[in-house]
Every structure is written in C-alpha cells, then in structure tokens.
Structure 1
Amino acid sequence: MARMQETIQFARQRGVITLRSLLLLFTAGLLLLVLIAAVSVSFDRFRDYMTDQLRGHSQDGATAIGLSLSNAIDGRDPVAAASLIDAVFDSGRYLSVVYIDNQGEEIAGRETSLRELKVPGWFVSLADLPLPAGEAEVVRGWSRLGKVRVVSHPGRAYEDLWKVTSRTVAGSVLVAGVGLIGLFWTMTRILRPLRAVEIQAQALGRRDFRRRVDITSTRELNQVTRAMNQMADDLGQLFEGQAKLIQHLRKVNNEDSVTGLASRRAFEQRLKVEVESEERAAPGVLFLIQLADFARYNQTYGREEADRLLVSIGDAIGGFSRGHSDSFAGRLTGAGFAVFLPGVSRADGVIWCRQLLDQLDGIYSDFSAPMDVSVHAGIAQAAENRNVRDLMAAADEALRQAQADEASACHAADADRLEHYNSETWRAIIKQAIRDGWLSLWLQPMVRKGDGDVLFHQVFSRMKTPDGWVKANIFVPMAERFGMTPDIDRWVLTRSLELLREQPDAQLAMTLGVVSVASDGFRTDLLEQLAMAGPERQRLQVGVSEQAIHHHRVQVGLLVRALNRLQVPVIVDRFGVGGVPFSYLRNLRFQALRIDSSFIHDIDSHEDNRFYLESVATIAHSRGVRVYVTGVETESEYSVLGDIGVDGAMGYHLGRPFEAEQ
C-alpha cells in the first residue's frame, strides 16, 4: 500500500507544470496584458481622432452647403436646393444631408445607411464610432430661411481604424512571438542543468550515485549542480563504507583469515542446513582433508612459509569447490580442511577426492622439499537418517584409516551403505528426463513479513527418476556439472510464462543456473522469449545466484541490464554464500536479495548471523532493494526475522511446495 501511494504521489508530481513552462506562461500572459493595453490605448486614441475628423468634416460640409444656399442659390427654391444637395451627397462622403425650414419641416435631403463596409461587422459593433452632425444657417438678406444638418459617412473612418488596429495587433503578436521564441531558447539553455539535476535526483532515488551533472549555466544553478554532485559523492562514499564494513564483518565471522575459505563455524552451519534441513536435505559426500606432519613443517620453515602453504592449499581446494556446483569448502583446524559436494555419490566422491589429493600432494611436496610429506582424506556420504555429527564422525573415522598409510591416500566410510547414483547414471537420467519431459513445475509461497500475504511463488522443478520424483536441489548440482541446466531452465521459463498467462494475478520467481547465465545462447533465448511474452513478463522475477555474479561478472552484467530494459525484476539469489563484495549492488540494478538459508537456520540462537542480516537489510533498503529470506523451518526462526526487517520469508514453516497443476 505504501509503495502504491508513493507511485500515485510521483505521478501527481510529474503532472505539475515545469519551471520553464511556468516562466513562459507568465511571460506570455504579461505580454498579452501589455498587448491588450497597448492596443486598447491605441484604439481609443485613434477612435477619438477619427471621431474628431468626422465632426469636423460634417461641420465643414454643413457650412459649405449653407453658404451655397444663402448666396449662390436661392434657398427659397426647393428644386434648386434639392439639386445642390444631390450634387453634394453624390460625392459619397456623407451619411445624410438634410435642409429643413424654420418649422422643422424637411425642404430637401438625402441619406443612406451603413452598408457594404469593408470591415468585419463585429469590429463595427466594437468601435461604434459616434456620428456627430454639423449644422449651418441658411439666410437670405436678413431673413432666416432654415438650416442644413450634415452627418459624414464613417465608412472611411472604420476602414482606417481597422487597418491601424489590425496592423498594431499583428505587429505586437509578431514581436511577442519572437520574444517568446527567444525566451524559450534562452530558458532551455539556462535550465538545462535543472533537467540534469532532476535525472540525477531520480538516479539517487534508485540509489545510483554514479551520475554527475557537468552542464554549466548561471551562477546560482552551478552552485545547485555542485551541491548535488557533492551529495552524490558523499552518499556513494557512505554506501561504499557501509558495504565494506558489512563485507569485513562477514569475512571476520565466516571466512578463515589465512585461506579465505569458510571458517569452521560457517562451514558447519551451512553443512547443517544441507544435511539436516528438511527443505534442503539431499544426498552428498563430505571430504575431511588433513596435511600430515604440518606441525613439523611449521617448526622447520616458520609461520610465514606455513601460511603461504595454507594459502596455496586453500586456493586449490577453493578451485575444486568452484568446479563442482553448489559445493563449498572450509578450514576446520590448522592443517585440516573439509569439502561438501551435494548430490554426489560415494563412488564419484572417491574419484574426485583422489584427483584433489594428487593436486594437494604436489603443492605440499613442492613447498616442503626435501621433507617427505603426505595428504590424507576421509569420505562419508550424507543420508536421510544421518545428522551432521554422525556424518562428521564417519568422515573422521575414514580419515584416521587413511592416515594409517604413510603415503597420501583417501578412504571412504560406509562401504556397506546403499550407493547413490553415480555421475554417468545421473547424466543418462537427466538427459532422458529433458528429452521425454519428465519434469514437473512446483511452487512455494514467499510470504510478506507482518500480514502473511503471499508476495509471489518461487518456481522449482522436480524430475522423475527410476526411484520416483526428486527435488531440484538433488539433481540440479549434477545437471550443472554436465552443462544441462540451460535446457531445464528453458523448460521452466516456458512453463512459468504459460502459467502467468493462465493466471493474470499470479506473481512468480525463477532462479537461473550458473551454466545458464554463462551461456550466450541461453541468454539470447531467454531475452527473446521474454520480449515476445508481453506484459506478463513483468510478473516474473528472474533470480541470479551470487556465485554466478562472482564467476561470470561480465555475462551477469549484460543479462541484468537487458532484463532491466524489458522491465523484468531481477533478484540476487543465495545471497551471502558467494563471498562477493557488495559493489555489484551499486553497478547493477537488482530489485531484491534472497538470503541463503544457511544464515537463517537456527538464527534465533546465532547472534553473528542476526547482526549480519540486520546490516544487509539496512544497506539494501537504503538502495531501494527488497530483502527476502529462505529456509524458515521453525516459529522461533520466523519470529526473529521481524526484528531484522526483511520484506518476505519462505520455508516449510510458512508453506510447503505444491505442484503447479494443483
């Protein structure tokens, strides 16, 4: 509701007249008043002048006719008088000429009406020139015979008044038009910085602090633009400072200071979510890795060299983890490391563990020569009936068995456990499911914190296997390894758009795989399909994982900007586990963050994660970015989120996934 009110308020503000238009209207109104005043004054003056001319002309005509009737012609002769009046009247300069006797009786006369004037009738009504009459006495000797009354014809006066008035108006309008055009051009140039400042202010409203105003104008406007640029710089530095602080706190609480891998506490927290969480629990394997004789190496070469070795080992393990989708690694003890690979069978885990051990053994040997060193690893498989403590104990037991060998070796626990699908079996199952359409669309609600309303539904896919339908977090990591997620994401996108067309009020969100984001062909197909989708694409939020942002920064940037142009909302998914600096929030326009479930699990008893999420929510909201969380499985976890200030939450406690067809 608040956001809707803000939108309405913004729309009203956009309807307010601009400063340039206001100045132009004020100037035009002022010029119009001046024009009306000038024309009115000129009109009245010339009208009075023409009235005086008519009065003088009438009096002169009357005097001339009176003298003629008194001296040249016998005014007592009606015929002679009529002939004289006809001759004078036929000149066309008089409206009426009348000769009357002493009793007021007309002796002779002529008159006409105001017809066929060469001016508009409305102007005649407006001008309404008075018609003064001129009079002169007609005498014979000492006898008064009568008098002559003459009224001049005002046609010529109306025509002259019309010409003068129309030319005055036309000239004034021309001058005013030229003046307004000049004022418009001047105001446009002078007020250009204000338009740039408006765009900059809108960018600041979107928390984009990069825009600057470089246009110069008057001294006052230049001061405004400098102040705006300074404010943008200050806000940008403030955001950068906040982001660096939060990033530093995250590193301190969740990363090993030497290797950059996850700390023991952070690794175990995420492992607990992957193994014990009802929502995410899936098969996988755990590696426990130990550098043999590291204490002796440390004493021999010193702490600085030991740290260099640990950094190299951490880089190798981190590279291995990045090569396996959704896997993560951490440093548990001084020379002890751990790696968890979700969705991996024990057989494949043994193969990959041996490959990793060969790499680590080579690094350790190069650093420690001529010392004879080795690396050992223990492997245990996650299962539904095994918690984190049991899993760690099984892997630790396998590690001790591997350490019985002097040479580098890895040992797998649980040889008698039921084996999960190996990689080749997974490849065949996923390929067949894509080919035969053995996929199903599932939805899970994202609930608004506070009123419990559903904001949107997160879209998941489930796949049919010989053992039945399996969740996405089981088969997607394998699909990522085989590069098959683009085909799965295409199916999910097509089905989601169909669902949006079928349900006009639905709001959906889907998350793209890392391989899909990196694929030029998939991004092209995605954008083309969304462009053809129509308005329903604005009801589909597209998620990009933070790991994808970290490893494919250029491709993510191209995709996010293209989705912004299509007005498709973009979400950062699995926020917090990618170890990416917050700078991408400043360079790319994301509409929301979805916090990874590893930060939510047991958050009611995890003060560090709570403080981290509060800080993330604050900085995200300061940039207009919404904050969602996933993996809420208990009431105690959900109650804590209210104090953190998240916008929405999702998890089995709030709503379980259901099939879209239902």
Structure 2
Amino acid sequence: MSLIRQVWFLVLGVVLASVLGSMAVSAIGMRALLQTQLQLKNSDNAAALALALSQQGGDAQLMSLLVSAQFDTGHYQSLRWLAADGSVAFERTAPGRSSKAPAWFVALTPIDTQPGVAKVSNGWNAVGSVEVRSQSAYAHDELWRASLRMMGLMAGVGLLAGLAAFWVLGRIRRPLDNAVTQAEALVAGQYTQVDEPREPELRRLSRAMNTMVERVRQMFEAQSSQLEVLRVQAHCDALTGMSTRTHFLAELDSALTRDEGPVRAGLVLLRLRDLAGLNQRLGRAAVDQLLVAMAHAVQVYPERVKGCLAGRLNGADFALWLPAPDVVGDTAKALADALQASLPAFGAGVQVALGAVELARERPSSDWFGAADAALARAEGRPGFVVEVLAPSAEAQIQGERAWRAQISEALRERRGRLAEYPVLDKQGQVLHLECPLQLRLVADGPFESAARWLPLAVRSRLTAEIDLQAVALALEAIVLDGRARCVNVAPSSLLDGGFVARLREQVFQSPQAARKLGLELAEGAAIQHFELLQEMGRQLRPLGVKLGLEHAGAGLAQVDRLYQAGLDYVKLDAAVVAGVSGDAARAAFVRGMVIMLRSLALKVYAEGVVDGMDVQALWDCELDGVTGPWATAQT
C-alpha cells in the first residue's frame, strides 16, 4: 500500500472517528436533556393538576372530569388519581405511541422517566395524589431529528476536512511524484531538475535529488570526455589527428555498404614525394610540420561536407573519400593548388602527387584503391604538384538517373517491394530481431534491387517517405503472420516530410499487437541534424510499443548534446568502430567505453557489419547486447 494511501486512510479514520464521536456525544447529551425535560414536564403537569383537583372541594365527579379533561389536552401515556388509601380512584391510559425514529435508534437511546407525582388535598385534609406520565415517543422523534441535523452538519464538516486534506496531501504528493518522475527519468538516462517546494522536509528531498542528478550528469559528461580520448587513441593518427589507415579502411567499407548516399562517389590519394629525402634535407621536425599542413588541407573537406572521409594511410600517403558524383576532379585540382601555394614555404624540393577516381558505390574498396593507386602512379611520373583523374562520363549517369527515378515511382505505385531479413543475435545465439531493409523490383519481371542501388535517387526525388511507409507496412504484415520482431530503416530525409510521422503513427496504430515488435532505425546523422524531429518521432511512436534506434553510430554520438533526451531504445555501433576490435586493445577500450556510456542512458548496444568471429568474441567481452552482419547471417 502506498504511503499516500496510508495517509488517506489515516485521515479518513480520524475524520470518521471524530464525526462518530461527536455524534455519539451529541446524541447522549440531547437524550439526557430531553429525558430531563420530560421528567420536569411530568412533575409540572402533576403539580398543576393536583392544584386544580384540590380546588374541587373533594367532589369526586368533578375531579374525575378534570383529570379526563387534562388527559385529553396533553400528550400523556397515563393519568391516575389515587385515593388516600392508595387505591386507584380514576385512571386514563393511552397505548404507547410508536416513534418515527428507527427501532434500532430507539433501542440504542432509551428514554426512561419516572411519572410526575403530586398530592391532592381538600383544605387541610389529604384526599390522595395524582400520577402523570407523558408519551416518550415525541422525545425520541426530536432526538432522531436532532441527530440527523447533527449528522448533516458533521458530514459537511467532514467533507470540508476531506477537501482540506486532499489539498494538503496534493501539495505533499506533487514533490514526491516529481521525485519519482525525476528518478525514473534518471533511469532512462534523462537528467531533469525539479522546482523545490516550500515545505522544508520536501525541499530537502528535492534539493538532494537535484544535486544527485547534477552529479550524475557531470559524471556522464566526464565519461564522454574520457571516451573521446579513447576514440582519438584508437582511431586517430598521433601526429595529424586524422583517421589511421585501419580506421579509414573500416570507415570506407562501412560507407560503401550503406544504403544512403549517392550512386557514385570519388576517392583522392595524396602522396608526399621523397619522404626519406625530405627528412634528411629538412629535418624530421620540419617534415612533421609539413605533414600536419597537408593533413589540415585535406581535413577541411570532412569538416564541411557530411559523409566525407579522410585519413593518413602511412607516413607520406593521405586519402580523401567524397560521397558525391562529379566532384572528384575539381576537388583534387583544388587540393593540388592549395598545397602548391603553402607547402613550398617549408623548403625546396616539396612535391605532391594526387590520384583521383570516381566509381560506383557498389564496387568493393579494393577496386577503389586499385584504380586510385593506378592514377597516383601515373601522377608520380611527372614532377611538381600533379593531379591524375580517372572519371566516367557524366551524361550517361544523368540519363540513367532519370530512368531509375521513373522506375522507383512505378515500383512504389504497384507495391513491388519485399523485405530482406538479416538476424541480430545475442550472446546465446538467439535472434533478437530481424533487420529488414526494403528491396524494390524496379522492372516488372526483373530482380529485386537493394536500397544501395536506388535509395540515393529516391532521396533526390523526395520519395523516401513513401518508401519508408511501404517498408513499415510490409514489416507489420510479416509480424502479424509469424510474430517475429522486425526492424526497418527510416531515411533521415523522411523526417523532413511534415506529414510523415503522423501517417506513420496512424499506420502503426492500426496494428497495435504487431507494433510492439516493430523497430525503426535511423542513421546517426538524424540525431545530429534533426534532433527535434527525431525526438518528436519517439514521443509519437514509443507509447505504441515501437522501438527506436540509431544505426551507423560512432564518433558522431559525441556531437549529440542531448542524447539522453532523444527517446531511443538502442544504438547500433558502426562497422568502422567494431572492425578489428579483437586485435587492437585501444579499439576494444573505446568500444567498452561506448557501451558503458550508452548503458548509463538505459540503451541497449548492438554492433553492425561484424565479419570476424574473433571480433564477435571480443564484442561479447565488451558486454554488447547483440551483433549483426555477415557473421550473424552465417550462424542462422
């Protein structure tokens, strides 16, 4: 039983006891008063009647008439005239009148009075006495009416007392409810502050809770800062701060396997020529400054362009991946011009070769580096700051995009879509849920195409909202059929459609049972760029049982200022974060730190794109909740 309910029972008990006690005291006092009044009435009436009889000169007939007349004028139960010898000379009686009060009340409050007695005389001679007994039913009637009035009055007082108690307990309960809400929010990873009430005891409680929440928030921020240090140690080159070769390759592989992004992209390789000779001529410190200057020139692009990747591959080589078509050549030439303007200031003989290539994103990373290395080799064949670009014809790409756009729209209209299924496994090998990316049959009799082929063009054509709604509809239908939990991807661009969340909520609302096994995933960028829209989506859908998660999560989580308020259920670490974790203690420490931070926000943590079984075991050691990727698919 809750504390407030116990207090309520106590208040009600006290009020009820007070009311009943007051009524009992009032009834007893009223009964005594009425009994005394009735006794006095009997005595007074007996005295008055005896006086009247004494004036009749001992005439028995007149005295009998007078007694009879007195009986007829009053509410008497009996009137008796007793002779001097004690015998009854004359008597009038009436049956006892039934009271209007309930029988239990009459039995509970008996009114018992003695008859009034007075002597009758004839001159100086005593001729007998009279006894007068009044009806007690009238006293019970009045006592019952008085008790009812008192009951009404006490009920009103009790009601007012109850309302006052309700108001007081409400004031007491609000700070307690706020403290409970604050504690529940803290469990959910939200750091909320509450106003301090006026009551000293409750003010101390609220102040203590606010202090605790603030300290936990500070601990979380300190943990985030420590995590950023671990990330730099695990992923970044010590000299330039850019991604190491291992991490850059992992980021590139992850980017190439994602559905979002353009169909084609570009890769630029930069090489500082004759690194060994420069070290001998300029000195190691000067060459380090030279390399840092190159890194700053390359790093400008990832800082300004979303999805851009940059890294230092080895001592003299840098790489820049551009997630956009038809820009690789201009970017490489702009880099060459910037480097040619700044690097010669470090000393004579500084030269840089740049090789650039543009390919389809569906090509593996080995093809990208093979083509870029070939372009770089050709650039090294000429002196100075040289750029060699290998890029396909742009006109053919534009024509293909137009045709694909029409095919996507037609496939949506005809509902030519299906969901692929990839398992997310826990440590025991149980399927937590199925990842279900949408595939479209762009040609009526053709194969189903993965989203990597058509989603970039759908984003340009603003078709992602319709695509995501169709994917959710297919997932709900599949859940109804087999009861297995499923998760579908939602494009961040869909959040920009003003009616998307409302339509999605209505669609989910139609299948309340299936909605409890539905998950929606958005890329990490959605939490960075559209935080309020993501938060509103969570407010609309999570009460219906829908789970919300972030995929491709990595270093970008540090840019989400209010991650604890995003309304998420889980976070899926990017393949670039978890790849090679079994052989790299620094990467394992970073992953473990990510898990600790996210668990403090009451979020589950999964890993995506896992290929190596050794990495899986290392991830279990880091206390992850589940993994997905080629390794997980092979286990089922």
TM interval, short-chain normalised:
0.7 to 0.9
Q: Please list, as runs of the form range in 1=range in 2, the aligned pairs for 1:558-573 lying within 5 A after superposition.
A: 559-563=537-541, 568-573=546-551
- Contact 1:243–1:582, Cα closer than 8 Å, also in 2: no
Deviations 1:590-645 (A, max 9, x none): 11101223344444334333322222222212211111222344554444443322
Whole-Å separation in 1 of the counterparts to 2:362 and 2:517? 36
AA in 2 matched with 1:365? Q
Deviations 1:135-174 (A, max 9, x none): 4566889999776443122244335434543444444444
Give the CA deviation at 1:56.
Answer: 3.5
Cα pair distance change 1:637/1:182, threshold 3 Å: same
TM-score, scaled relative to structure 2: 0.81
AA in 1 matched with 2:132? V
Whole-Å separation in 1 of the counterparts to 2:241 and 2:405? 34
Q: Residue 199 of structure 1 corresponds to which residue in structure 2?
A: 181
Asked if 1:330 corresponds to 2:311, the answer is yes
Equivalent residue of 2:195, what SS? Answer: coil
AA in 2 matched with 1:330? G
Indicate the larger mover: 629-638 or 81-90.
Answer: 629-638
Whole-Å separation in 2 of the counterparts to 1:170 and 1:190? 30
- Contact 1:627–1:648, Cα closer than 8 Å, also in 2: yes
Q: Please list, as runs of the form range in 1=range in 2, the aligned pairs for 1:131-280 lying within 5 A after superposition.
A: 131-135=113-117, 148-189=130-171, 192-209=174-191, 211-256=192-237, 261-271=242-252
Deviations 1:485-535 (A, max 9, x none): 4453343234334445x4483432222224334xx22x5224323235313
- Contact 1:247–1:581, Cα closer than 8 Å, also in 2: no
- Contact 1:462–1:470, Cα closer than 8 Å, also in 2: yes
- Contact 1:284–1:340, Cα closer than 8 Å, also in 2: no
Asked if 1:598 corresponds to 2:582, the answer is no
Asked if 1:471 corresponds to 2:464, the answer is no
Asked if 1:363 corresponds to 2:338, the answer is yes
* Uncovered stretches (5+) of structure 2, i.e. residues with no partner: none
- Contact 2:224–2:597, Cα closer than 8 Å, also in 1: yes
Whole-Å separation in 2 of the counterparts to 1:239 and 1:200? 16
Equivalent residue of 1:207, what SS? Answer: coil
Whole-Å separation in 2 of the counterparts to 1:241 and 1:607? 22
AA in 1 matched with 2:34? M
Equivalent residue of 1:262, what SS? Answer: coil
Deviations 1:239-278 (A, max 9, x none): 1111121122112211345665422121233456678x99
Whole-Å separation in 2 of the counterparts to 1:431 and 1:387? 30
Q: Please list, as runs of the form range in 1=range in 2, the aligned pairs for 1:294-313 lying within 5 A after superposition.
A: 299=282, 304=289, 307-313=292-298
Q: Residue 37 of structure 1 corresponds to which residue in structure 2?
A: 21
Q: Residue 300 of structure 2 corresponds to which residue in structure 1?
A: 315
Q: Residue 11 of structure 2 corresponds to which residue in structure 1?
A: 27
- Aligned equivalent of 2:472, options 471, 493, 504: 493
Deviations 1:197-234 (A, max 9, x none): 2332222222211x222233122222222111111110
Asked if 1:623 corresponds to 2:601, the answer is yes
Give the CA deviation at 1:92.
Answer: 1.6
- Aligned equivalent of 2:591, options 595, 613, 619: 613
Whole-Å separation in 2 of the counterparts to 1:97 and 1:287? 127
Cα pair distance change 1:233/1:299, threshold 3 Å: same
Give the CA deviation at 1:51.
Answer: 2.0
Cα pair distance change 1:482/1:249, threshold 3 Å: farther
Q: Cα RMSD between the aligned structures?
A: 4.3
Deviations 1:74-129 (A, max 9, x none): 47x4x444312211111223211134669987543222244475656654444221
Q: Residue 89 of structure 1 corresponds to which residue in structure 2?
A: 71
Q: Residue 289 of structure 1 corresponds to which residue in structure 2?
A: 269
Deviations 1:381-422 (A, max 9, x none): 69999785x864564344212221335322559x9xxxxx95
- Contact 1:94–1:150, Cα closer than 8 Å, also in 2: yes
AA in 2 matched with 1:35? V
Cα pair distance change 1:654/1:624, threshold 3 Å: same
Deviations 1:515-573 (A, max 9, x none): 334xx22x522432323531354543221111333444555455455555766432111
Whole-Å separation in 2 of the counterparts to 1:314 and 1:509? 35
AA in 2 matched with 1:314? Q
Cα pair distance change 1:363/1:168, threshold 3 Å: same
- Contact 1:377–1:399, Cα closer than 8 Å, also in 2: yes
Give the CA deviation at 1:461.
Answer: 1.7
AA in 2 matched with 1:310? A
Q: Residue 581 of structure 1 corresponds to which residue in structure 2?
A: 559
Whole-Å separation in 1 of the counterparts to 2:247 and 2:499? 37
Equivalent residue of 1:654, what SS? Answer: helix
Whole-Å separation in 1 of the counterparts to 2:258 and 2:52? 129
AA in 2 matched with 1:433? I
Whole-Å separation in 2 of the counterparts to 1:88 and 1:36? 42
Q: Residue 399 of structure 1 corresponds to which residue in structure 2?
A: 376
Whole-Å separation in 2 of the counterparts to 1:383 and 1:91? 118
Whole-Å separation in 1 of the counterparts to 2:115 and 2:71? 15
- Contact 1:442–1:657, Cα closer than 8 Å, also in 2: no
Asked if 1:543 corresponds to 2:521, the answer is yes
Whole-Å separation in 2 of the counterparts to 1:472 and 1:369? 46
Deviations 1:293-313 (A, max 9, x none): 585699498755753442122
Q: Please list, as runs of the form range in 1=range in 2, the aligned pairs for 1:400-439 lying within 5 A after superposition.
A: 400-406=377-383, 408-410=386-388, 412=390, 422=397, 424-425=399-400, 428-437=403-412, 439=416
Q: Structure 1 vs Structure 2: percent identity of aligned residues?
A: 22
Give the CA deviation at 1:651.
Answer: 3.1
Whole-Å separation in 2 of the counterparts to 1:512 and 1:365? 44
Give the CA deviation at 1:360.
Answer: 1.0
- Contact 1:316–1:359, Cα closer than 8 Å, also in 2: no
Whole-Å separation in 2 of the counterparts to 1:524 and 1:446? 31
- Contact 1:259–1:314, Cα closer than 8 Å, also in 2: no
Equivalent residue of 2:198, what SS? Answer: coil
Equivalent residue of 1:624, what SS? Answer: coil
AA in 1 matched with 2:451? A
Whole-Å separation in 1 of the counterparts to 2:210 and 2:492? 38
- Contact 1:446–1:455, Cα closer than 8 Å, also in 2: yes
Give the CA deviation at 1:468.
Answer: 3.6
Whole-Å separation in 1 of the counterparts to 2:334 and 2:505? 44
AA in 1 matched with 2:184? Q
Whole-Å separation in 2 of the counterparts to 1:303 and 1:637? 34
AA in 1 matched with 2:217? G
AA in 2 matched with 1:89? F
Equivalent residue of 1:618, what SS? Answer: helix
Cα pair distance change 1:287/1:85, threshold 3 Å: same
Asked if 1:49 corresponds to 2:33, the answer is yes
